[in-house]
Amino acid sequence: MRRNRNSIKKLAEAIALEYEEKITPLDKIVGDEGLSVFYDSYGRDTFDGMTIYENGQFYIHINTDLGNKKDSPRGRFTLAHELGHYYIDSHRLGLKKGLLEPHPSRTNRKQFNQIEREADFFASCLLMPEARFTKDFHRKSFDITVIDFLKEEYNVSRTACAFRFADIGNHSIMIIYAEGGKLKWYHCSEHFPYQYLLYDKVVAPNTVMGEFFKGISDDIFKTEEIWAVDMFKYVKDDDINSKFFEHCITYRDKALSIIWGD
């Protein structure tokens, strides 16, 4: 997979860097490839995007019912993800030969299916090519304002931006996502000091996210200190007083936390 990631990265970033615009011009890419993209209502319980091969042509369908507006961060990531299915050789040939069934893609989540992971990685590299992206945080100390600055610069969601920063940023971070108090997934930088959560199915109680799901606050968007022992497994005795920062963003019964150390 590592070798495949490298080839996907080179492919996506070569396409992005063919264009001078900092915000990757997906419309131009679609036009240059002669692809047909349809933005339409497909229901809320279906998909964000889907790529279909019919009668010798590729067609990309984008679901507006899930917030995929043409130039919105979510819509752009969904389209970039579907372009991954078109550009990655194994995906494109699979669709052409009927070996890969057209399937629903969902945006802004951690993927566990390899095909979807590859398309997400392609989208991330296409929208935030490393050569450009790293220049915008070079020598900056990390806090949530870095992510918020970058997401505006590249017109991507905070989640997509945090994933990319976790992979190639200059500071190790962890991203945690939960719904209704249940942990859905987490992702961290390769060199983040702790790789395992103390609570792997529910939200840790002594955290900002934990406050939110206990109903202490209806709306949270703040950074606070948390203790490593309240969040992570395998904290050594010497690190018992170690603290991290947590920034939590909430929406209805959903919450995303970004965690980092000094």
Domain that holds residue 254: 132-260
Do 111 and 39 lie in one domain? The reply is yes
What is the C-alpha separation between 40 and 85, in angstroms, rounded? 20
Do 137 and 253 lie in one domain? The reply is yes
Do 95 and 147 lie in one domain? The reply is no
Q: In the listed set 100, 129, 158, which residue is the last one of a domain according to the structure?
A: 129
pLDDT 10s digits, 182-219: 999 999 999 999 999 999 999 999 999 999 998 866 66
Do 31 and 94 lie in one domain? The reply is yes
Q: What share of the chain is helix, strand, coil (3-state, %, to 5)?
A: 40, 25, 35
How many C-beta atoms surround the C-beta of residue 96 within 10 A?
12
Do 230 and 113 lie in one domain? The reply is no
Do 184 and 123 lie in one domain? The reply is no
Q: In the listed set 129, 148, 179, which residue is the last one of a domain according to the structure?
A: 129
Number of domains observed in the structure of the chain: 2
Do 119 and 189 lie in one domain? The reply is no
Q: What is the pTM of this model?
A: 0.91
Q: Give the CATH number, domain containing residue 246.
A: 3.30.450
Q: In the listed set 129, 161, 178, which residue is the last one of a domain according to the structure?
A: 129
pLDDT of residue 215: 83
What is the C-alpha separation between 42 and 49, in angstroms, rounded? 10
What is the C-alpha separation between 128 and 76, in angstroms, rounded? 12
Do 113 and 160 lie in one domain? The reply is no
Residues 104/47, Cβ–Cβ less than 8 Å: yes
Residues 150/166, Cβ–Cβ less than 8 Å: no
What is the C-alpha separation between 208 and 224, in angstroms, rounded? 7
Is the pLDDT higher at 2 or at 56? 56
pLDDT 10s digits, 90-126: 999 999 988 777 666 766 555 558 889 999 999 999 9
pLDDT 10s digits, 137-146: 988 899 999 9
Do 108 and 146 lie in one domain? The reply is no
Do 176 and 96 lie in one domain? The reply is no
Do 152 and 78 lie in one domain? The reply is no
Q: In sequence order, which residues have a C-beta less than 8 Å from that of residue 156 and are 6 or more positions away?
A: 73, 76, 77, 127, 128, 150, 164
